[in-house]
Chain A
Amino acid sequence: GESVGLHLPTLSVQEGDNSIINCAYSNSASDYFIWYKQESGKGPQFIIDIRSNMDKRQGQRVTVLLNKTVKHLSLQIAATQPGDSAVYFCAENMSYGGSQGNLIFGKGTKLSVKP
Chain B
Amino acid sequence: DAGVTQSPTHLIKTRGQQVTLRCSPKSGHDTVSWYQQALGQGPQFIFQYYEEEERQRGNFPDRFSGHQFPNYSSELNVNALLLGDSALYLCASSWGRGEAQHFGDGTRLSIL
Contact A43 B56 (CB under 8 A): no
Instruction: Give the total number of A-B pairs whose CB atoms are below 8 A apart.
Output: 65
Contact A102 B33 (CB under 8 A): yes
Number of A positions contacting B (CB below 8 A): 26
**B25 in contact (CB, < 8 A):** no
Contact A100 B90 (CB under 8 A): no
- A28-70 CB mask vs B (1 if < 8 Å, else 0) is 0000101010000111111001000000000000000000000
Write the nearest CB–CB distance from B20 to chain A, whole angstroms: 19
- Bound together, the chains give a CA A89 to CA B41 distance in angstroms of 10
- Bound together, the chains give a CA A96 to CA B50 distance in angstroms of 13
| Given A43-B105, A96-B55, A102-B58, residue A108 in contact with residue B42 (CB < 8 A) | yes
- Bound together, the chains give a CA A41 to CA B37 distance in angstroms of 12
Determine the chain A residues whose CB is within 8 A of the CB of B45 once the complex forms: 102-104
- Bound together, the chains give a CA A101 to CA B35 distance in angstroms of 13
Contact B48 A101 (CB under 8 A): yes
- Bound together, the chains give a CA A98 to CA B55 distance in angstroms of 12
Write the nearest CB–CB distance from A56 to chain B, whole angstroms: 18
Contact B105 A100 (CB under 8 A): no
Contact B105 A42 (CB under 8 A): yes
- Bound together, the chains give a CA A43 to CA B101 distance in angstroms of 12
| Given A43-B90, A43-B104, A44-B90, residue A100 in contact with residue B43 (CB < 8 A) | no
**B96 in contact (CB, < 8 A):** yes
Chain B residue nearest to A42 in the complex (CB): B105
Q: Which residues of A contact B (CB under 8 A)?
A: 4, 32, 34, 36, 41-46, 49, 89, 91, 95-96, 98-108
